C-alpha cells in the first residue's frame, strides 16, 4: 500500500478537512482541547489503497489488527484510511457500487481498521472518503481506449488488466436501423461492461466475414469461404499487441455473426489463449443471452430492440413500413422495444463484467478447461459445415440446455459447455 498525500483538488481538500475533524473526534481532541491538536498529533500516516480484486488472493487475508498494530509500532499517531480509491472498489459495506470481491459478506475492511484504531490507546484514526471521476462507481466514466489520457489508461489497466475488442461491420439492417448496427451494438455493450466491472475498450473493428448482398454493405471476406486472409491475422495481431501492452485477458465480442465470422472469432480466442497463455474469449454477443430469449437475428426484433436501447437515436422504426422485406408484416414494429433491448443488454453486460473480473485470475487448469470447451464448440461448427451445411451446428443452440452457454461461461462451468457441444450435431 503506497502512502501518498495529495492535495491538488478541491474535493480532496474538503475531504482532508473532514478527515482531520474526524481524527480529532476519534482522538478525543476537541472543544476546549482543540488547540493542542497540532502539537499532540504530528506523526500522521496516510494509506492510499489501490488494490484491485482480479486475483482472489488480493486483500483476501487482510488482518486489521496486524495492519493497525504495525502502523502503531512504526510510531504513527494518526491514520488516514481510504474507503475507496481510483481502483473504485468499496472497502466498506457499501449499499451501492462494487465491493472488493475478496471482502466476503459480513466483513468490512474499513470498519475493522477504524475499530482497531479505536481499541488502541496508542494512536488515533482518521479517514476520508474520496470521489474520483474514474471509478467503476461512476456510471459515465471513460473506458474507451482512444479517449483515455495515458494516466487514465494506466489506472484502468492497473485496476483490471482486461481489454475488450468489439467487432462488427457496415451492413444493411433494414430501412429502420443504422448501417453500423453490429459494431455499434457490440461496442456499447463492451463500454457498459467495462464501466460496470473494469477494463478498457479498444475501438470497434469494422469489417468481417460475410454480409448481405444489399446496398451500403461492405463484404470484406465471403461468408462461405474456408480461406481467411484478413480477419484471422488481424485479430491475432491485435491480441498479441494487447498482450504486449500488459493485458491479462481479452474479450472479443462480435455483433456481426455470419457463421464463419463466429467460427473465426472463437477459433482465434482458443488459439490465442494457448499462444499467449492468457484467457482470450471470442463470441457473438447473443450467445450470452440466449436463455433470456435473445437468439440472434438480423435486424429483427432482437437486434432492433438492442439498438433502440443502446442507441435510440439510430432506429427509426416507422421506416420499416417502407421496407419490402422487413416491413412485410408488423411483427418487428410491434415486437421490438427499448425495454426488451434493455433486458438483453443487462444480462450480456452483467455476464461480460463478471467474466472480465474473473478471467485474469484463472489458473492453468481453469484456462485449459476453457479452451477445451471452446474447441468443442468449434469442432462441432466445422464438422457440421463440412458434413451437412453451414448452419448445422447452430440448429440446437436456440433451445433446451444449449441456451445455457452464457450462464455456464460466466459461472466458469466449462465442462458443461464441453459436454453440451458434443450433442450439437
Ligand atoms: Zn446485425
How close is the Cα of 343 to the center of ligand 1, in Å? Answer: 18
How close is the Cα of 331 to the center of ligand 1, in Å? Answer: 17
Of 19-28, 95-104, 243-252, the range with the highest mean pLDDT is 243-252
Q: What is the average per-residue pLDDT within 331-358?
A: 97
pTM recorded for the entire structure: 0.73
Distance from CA of residue 83 to its chain's centroid?
A: 23
CATH architecture group of domain 145-421: 3-Layer(aba) Sandwich (3.40)
How close is the Cα of 189 to the center of ligand 1, in Å? Answer: 14
Instruction: Give CA angle at 375 (405, 366), nearest 5°.
Output: 70
How close is the Cα of 228 to the center of ligand 1, in Å? Answer: 21
pLDDT of amino acid 36: 58
How close is the Cα of 299 to the center of ligand 1, in Å? Answer: 6
How close is the Cα of 298 to the center of ligand 1, in Å? Answer: 5
How close is the Cα of 213 to the center of ligand 1, in Å? Answer: 14
How close is the Cα of 356 to the center of ligand 1, in Å? Answer: 24
pLDDT band at 79 (very low <50, low <70, confident <90, very high): confident
* 102/83: higher pLDDT: 102
> 3-7, 86-90, 419-423: lowest mean pLDDT where?
3-7
pLDDT of amino acid 317: 97
- Three-state SS at 102: coil
Distance from CA of residue 255 to its chain's centroid?
A: 16
Is 19 a residue whose pLDDT tops 50? no
Please provide residue 153's backbone torsions phi and psi, each rounded to the nearest 5 degrees. Answer: -60, -45
d(CA 113, CA 96): 21
Nearest to 385 by CA among 337, 344, 425, 346: 425
d(CA 109, CA 113): 6
Pairing of strands 162-168, 205-206: parallel
pLDDT of amino acid 111: 84
Cβ count near 291 (within 10 Å): 15
Q: What is the average per-residue pLDDT within 78-105?
A: 75
d(CA 254, CA 184): 10
Residue 10 grid cell = 478541491
How close is the Cα of 259 to the center of ligand 1, in Å? Answer: 12
How close is the Cα of 234 to the center of ligand 1, in Å? Answer: 21
Output the CA–CA distances (angstroms, integers) from residue 10 to 18, 81, 129, 158, 327, in the order listed: 12, 19, 13, 25, 56
How close is the Cα of 269 to the center of ligand 1, in Å? Answer: 21
pLDDT of amino acid 333: 97
Is 61 a residue whose pLDDT tops 70? yes
How close is the Cα of 260 to the center of ligand 1, in Å? Answer: 14
How close is the Cα of 416 to the center of ligand 1, in Å? Answer: 28
Nearest to 406 by CA among 270, 278, 261, 295: 295
How close is the Cα of 256 to the center of ligand 1, in Å? Answer: 5
How close is the Cα of 287 to the center of ligand 1, in Å? Answer: 14
Q: What is the average per-residue pLDDT within 342-353?
A: 97
pLDDT band at 28 (very low <50, low <70, confident <90, very high): very low
Q: Are 381 and 259 in contact (CB under 8 A)?
A: yes
d(CA 179, CA 104): 46
Is 151 a residue whose pLDDT tops 90? yes
How close is the Cα of 174 to the center of ligand 1, in Å? Answer: 10
pLDDT band at 339 (very low <50, low <70, confident <90, very high): very high
How close is the Cα of 295 to the center of ligand 1, in Å? Answer: 12
pLDDT of amino acid 49: 78
Residue 291 grid cell = 436463455
How close is the Cα of 418 to the center of ligand 1, in Å? Answer: 27
pLDDT of amino acid 128: 46
Instruction: Give CA angle at 368 (364, 374), nearest 5°.
Output: 145
Q: What is the average per-residue pLDDT within 271-282?
A: 98
Is 250 a residue whose pLDDT tops 70? yes
How close is the Cα of 415 to the center of ligand 1, in Å? Answer: 30
* 14/42: higher pLDDT: 42
How close is the Cα of 143 to the center of ligand 1, in Å? Answer: 24
Please provide residue 130's backbone torsions phi and psi, each rounded to the nearest 5 degrees. Answer: -110, 145
pLDDT of amino acid 53: 79
* 240/45: higher pLDDT: 240
- Taking the CA atoms of residue 354, residue 186, residue 348 and residue 148 in that order, the dihedral angle to the nearest 10 degrees is 40
pLDDT of amino acid 65: 87
pLDDT band at 87 (very low <50, low <70, confident <90, very high): low
Residue pointed to by grid coordinates 488482518: 63
* Percent of residues, the chain, with pLDDT higher than 70: 84
Is 203 a residue whose pLDDT tops 80? yes
Residue 294 grid cell = 435473445
Is 285 a residue whose pLDDT tops 50? yes
pLDDT of amino acid 380: 97
Q: Any residues with CB less than 8 A from the CB of 44 and at least 6 apart, and which?
A: 76, 77, 78, 79, 80, 126
Domain ranges of the chain: 10-128, 145-421
How close is the Cα of 84 to the center of ligand 1, in Å? Answer: 40
Query: Within the chain, how many helices (H) and strands (E) appear?
Result: 14, 8
* 391/9: higher pLDDT: 391
How close is the Cα of 90 to the center of ligand 1, in Å? Answer: 38
Going through 83-197 in order, the beta strands assigned E by DSSP cover 124-128, 162-168
d(CA 3, CA 118): 21
Phi-psi bin for 121: left (phi > 0), alpha (psi -120 to 50), beta?
A: alpha
Q: Are 68 and 109 in contact (CB under 8 A)?
A: no
How close is the Cα of 255 to the center of ligand 1, in Å? Answer: 6
How close is the Cα of 393 to the center of ligand 1, in Å? Answer: 20
pLDDT of amino acid 397: 92
* Percent of residues, the chain, with pLDDT higher than 90: 64
Mean pLDDT of the chain: 86
pLDDT of amino acid 7: 35
Amino acid at each position: 500500500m503506497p502512502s501518498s498525500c495529495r492535495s491538488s483538488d478541491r474535493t480532496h481538500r474538503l475531504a482532508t478537512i473532514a478527515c482531520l475533524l474526524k481524527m480529532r473526534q476519534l482522538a478525543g481532541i476537541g472543544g476546549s482541547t482543540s488547540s493542542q491538536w497540532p502539537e499532540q498529533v504530528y506523526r500522521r500516516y496516510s494509506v492510499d489503497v489501490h488494490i484491485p480484486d482480479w486475483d482472489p488472493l488480493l486483500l483476501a487475508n487482510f488482518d486489521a489488527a496486524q495492519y493497525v498494530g504495525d502502523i502503531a509500532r512504526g510510531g504513527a499517531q494518526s491514520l488516514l484510511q481510504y474507503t475507496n480509491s481510483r481502483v473504485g472498489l468499496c472497502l466498506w459495506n457499501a449499499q451501492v457500487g462494487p465491493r472488493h470481491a475478496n471482502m466476503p459478506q459480513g466483513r468490512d475492511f474499513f470498519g475493522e481498521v477504524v475499530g482497531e484504531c479505536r481499541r488502541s490507546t496508542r494512536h488515533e484514526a482518521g479517514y476520508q472518503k474520496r470521489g474520483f471521476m474514474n471509478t467503476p462507481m461512476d456510471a459515465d466514466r471513460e473506458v474507451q481506449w482512444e479517449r483515455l489520457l495515458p494516466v487514465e489508461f494506466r489506472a484502468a489497466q492497473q485496476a483490471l488488466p482486461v481489454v475488450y475488442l468489439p467487432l462488427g461491420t457496415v451492413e444493411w439492417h433494414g430501412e429502420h436501423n443504422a448501417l453500423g448496427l453490429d459494431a455499434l451494438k457490440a461496442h456499447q455493450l463492451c463500454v457498459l461492461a467495462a464501466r460496470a466491472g473494469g477494463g478498457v475498450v479498444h475501438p470497434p473493428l469494422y469489417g468481417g466475414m460475410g454480409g448481405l448482398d444489399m446496398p451500403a454493405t461492405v463484404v470484406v471476406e465471403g461468408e462461405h469461404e474456408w480461406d481467411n486472409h484478413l480477419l484471422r491475422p488481424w485479430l491475432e495481431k491485435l491480441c498479441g499487441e494487447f498482450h504486449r501492452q500488459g493485458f491479462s485477458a481479452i474479450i472479443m465480442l462480435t455483433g456481426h455473426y455470419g457463421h464463419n465470422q463466429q467460427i473465426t472469432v472463437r477459433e482465434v480466442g482458443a488459439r490465442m489463449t494457448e499462444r499467449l497463455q492468457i484467457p482470450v474469449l471470442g463470441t457473438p454477443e447473443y450467445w450470452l443471452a440466449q436463455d433470456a430469449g435473445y437468439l440472434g437475428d438480423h435486424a429483427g426484433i432482437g437486434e432492433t430492440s438492442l439498438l433502440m436501447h443502446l442507441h435510440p437515436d439510430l432506429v427509426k422504426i416507422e421506416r420499416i413500413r417502407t421496407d419490402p422485406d422487413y416491413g412485410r408484416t408488423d411483427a418487428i414494429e410491434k415486437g421490438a422495444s427499448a425495454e426488451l433491448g434493455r433486458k438483453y443488454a443487462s444480462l450480456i453486460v452483467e455476464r461480460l463484467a463478471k467474466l472480465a473480473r474473473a478471467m485474469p485470475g484463472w489458473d492453468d487448469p481453469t484456462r485449459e478447461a476453457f479452451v477445451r470447451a471452446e474447441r468443442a464448440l468449434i469442432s462441432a461448427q466445422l464438422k457440421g459445415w463440412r458434413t451437412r451445411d453451414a448452419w448445422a451446428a447452430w440448429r440446437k443452440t436456440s433451445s433446451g440446455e444449449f441456451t445455457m452457454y452464457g450462464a455456464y461461461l460466466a459461472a466458469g462451468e466449462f465442462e458443461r459447455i464441453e459436454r453440451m457441444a458434443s450433442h450439437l450435431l
